[in-house]
Amino acid sequence: MNDSNGSPTVRIGVLGCGNVGAALINIVRTRSDAVAQRTGIRLEIARVAVRNISAPRDVEVSDEILTRDAMDLVTDPDIDLVVESIGGIEPARELILAALAHGKPVVTANKELLANVGAELYKAADDAGRDLLFEAAVAAGIPFIRVLRESLYGEPITRILGIINGTTNYILTKMTDSVDSGGDADYGAALKDAQSLGYAERDPTADVEGYDAGAKAAIIATVAFGKKVVAGDVYHQGISEITASEIAIARRLGYVVKLLGIVERDPDTDDVSVRVHPTMVPDHHPLATVRDSFNAVFVEGDYVDSALFYGRGAGGAPTASAVFGDVIDAAMNLRAGTHGSVGALGKATIKPIDETSAEYLLGLDVADQSGVLHAVTGVFAEHGVSIRVAEQEGNGPDARLVFITHEAREKDVQATVRELNGLDVVLKVGGLIRVIGS
């Protein structure tokens, strides 16, 4: 179909009209003329599938294009392209597969879906010769997935470090600012603040325990390394146990605490490790300056050395902006008779967390008696964990030992912690925080 100016029209079917779906509809309407002028293609919102047609929504949609029948939308021969914004695994998976089977490219921001059944969907898209684009599934408005799929496709990437959850970054920023100003850095207060601003859900578990970032890390690892990595492969540790004391220690030693998604490829074995956990980042590292709800992704590779991608990682408008970019790409590819591809995915050999290596921060509350330091450092030595920094805070009953190790294996450090817990002179073993180098 062509518009009045002779430009071919791509008719879009949208599944869902929540924050992202509504924002996308507004962007398409606002930017349609500009896109047509630059690409020669007219974008049109043709149908929108919703659960409740009479429900209030953030965009005006005529009853004529609303439907409750999502499957009818994705199989409608008059729909050229489908945008999935309903979330979850089912029925999103079934609807995307049906759309692809009917020759329609699909754009989605559904990280949960891709982190669990992405490989099936990527293959279905390749078999159909149609796009499955998902820029907004990771870091929303930051154009990063496209860079991995295209600009860095041939790069031997060794490691990617990402602040890929805006909620946790906001909470940790508030706690760090409180410590820097002499406050108590209360986690609960910072979380309530994030909830009041709409950064955190009423039930924040997916964010603060690292599951949201873990899904994104699985997608990043899959695209970066060409290996099938799913959410269940990701090690998670959240921020709910981070204390003001740990943040204060990190600040005094020249670090800031961030929740990072980390994906790594062992250049010798090609094994992949994927994990999410609080991490001490040196003050001079680019990720240390990423504040509030912003996201950033730091890529390290053999040829590119390092590259940083920064921007808004959440919110209806930034997410819809990334979806809109994918819609334009998919529409152009559809008219050109081509499509993008993640490529063939190999089987990933996932390195267990016990076999990964890092530097570690560990704080101990200890008894006020002679021989404590000797007993404690002896446990480190017994397990082959070398100490890089050792400091004592306070005296008497408030004495606390703080250690930063040299790079050590996770299982050796965990064995050290278990034995320290059994020492009479150790009153309490604090949280274990991994440290990244420069």
- Catalytic residue numbers, as ranges: 216
CA separation, residue 438 to residues 2, 11, 173, 192 (Å) = 55, 49, 20, 33
CA separation, residue 269 to residues 156, 224, 232, 308, 349 (Å) = 14, 16, 21, 26, 9
CA distance 169 to 294: 7
DSSP for residue 405? E
Q: Using alpha carbons, select from 68, 74, 93, 89 the residue that is nearest to residue 17.
A: 68
Q: Using alpha carbons, select from 364, 393, 397 the residue that is nearest to residue 252.
A: 393
186: tokens are 């209360």
360: tokens are 């570690």
b/e burial code for range 82-100 (CB count within 10 A of at least 16 → b): bbbbbbeeeebbebbbbbb
Angle of helix 111-128 relative to helix 211-225, nearest 10 degrees, comes to 30
129: tokens are 């010769």
Neighbours of 359 (CB within 10 A): 19
Could you tell me if 430 and 245 are in contact, meaning their C-beta atoms sit under 8 angstroms apart? yes
